[in-house]
Amino acid sequence: NAGVTQTPKFQVLKTGQSMTLQCAQDMNHNSMYWYRQDPGMGLRLIYYSASEGTTDKGEVPNGYNVSRLNKREFSLRLESAAPSQTSVYFCASRWTGVYEQYFGPGTRLTVT
Amino acid sequence: TQLLEQSPQFLSIQEGENLTVYCNSSSVFSSLQWYRQEPGEGPVLLVTVVTGGEVKKLKRLTFQFGDARKDSSLHITAAQPGDTGLYLCAGGTQGGSEKLVFGKGTKLTVNP
């Protein structure tokens, strides 16, 4: 089992460029999440998906879109990247009714 | 918006010392989780507490959930260099802990 995988691991974008961060889990989890982690800010929820076919906004959704492609995959899209979106992005998943979230290794994104 | 205040933000101690990390809020949480994160990796769950007043022990780590379910603490006895890392508390915000609110983290360094 690979757990939660994320691609790419590193990315540098210029302001205004777009990109999609990919996340996949092989644990048959129902819920999936996207967070960003900034120095001194902890983890902040961007979007989450409680089940296949549903998505909902988190604390900091502006500038992002998500797609729950199927039960395994949950992607995060930046349509027009801004320097304020420079961060480390983590995807996570969990079983419904179980507390623990399993995290991927993260994507380090720099927007210049 | 529910907030979790975590303190201290940084802690540098010598091997063998004891330490306590605090996580406080004015809000009630359905559960409280503690994660540990190594550099370049995603957070990994250490423990979940769900009942007010609950105490859980994991080897040299003791976790406590406040009676009112608004605060929690992590106590490490006889810290070792292998305990070095970022410790994050996270509160469950809905009945099934569907979403988590994270504290900003405590960066612990244990010097040999």
Condensed to tens digits (0 to 9), the pLDDT of residues A32-69 reads 999 999 988 889 999 999 988 899 999 999 999 999 98
In chain B, which residues touch A (CB < 8 A)?
Answer: 1, 6, 9, 31, 33, 40-45, 48, 50, 88, 90, 92, 96-105
Two tokens, residue A86: 């420079």
Proportion of chain B above pLDDT 70, given as a percent: 96
pLDDT value of position A39: 87
Residues 10-49 of chain A whose Cβ lies under 8 A from any Cβ of chain B: 31, 35, 40-45, 48
What mean pLDDT comes out for the span A62-79? 96
Two tokens, residue B35: 């994660």
HEC assignment per residue over B15-42: CCCCEEEEEECCCCCCEEEEEEECCCCC
**B89 min Cα distance to partner chain A (Å):** 9
| In contact, B107 and B86? CB cutoff 8 Å | yes
DSSP A48: E
Q: Chain A residues with CB inside 8 Å of B41's CB?
A: 105-106
| Residue from A30, A36, A43, A95 whose CB has the most chain B CBs within 10 Å, to mutate | A43
Evaluate the CA torsion angle B32, B38, B39, B40 in order and state its sign. Answer: negative
pLDDT value of position B94: 66
What mean pLDDT comes out for the span A83-94? 97
Model confidence at A20: pLDDT above 80:
yes
Q: Chain A residues with CB inside 8 Å of B31's CB?
A: 99
Mean of the per-residue pLDDT values for chain A?
94
In terms of average pLDDT, the best of A49-63, A77-91, B96-110 is: A77-91
Rounded Cα–Cα distance for residues B102 and B2 (Å): 10
pLDDT value of position A96: 83
Model confidence at B97: pLDDT above 60:
no
Strand B85-92 with B106-111, pairing: antiparallel
Cβ distance of B41 and A40 shorter than 8 Å: no
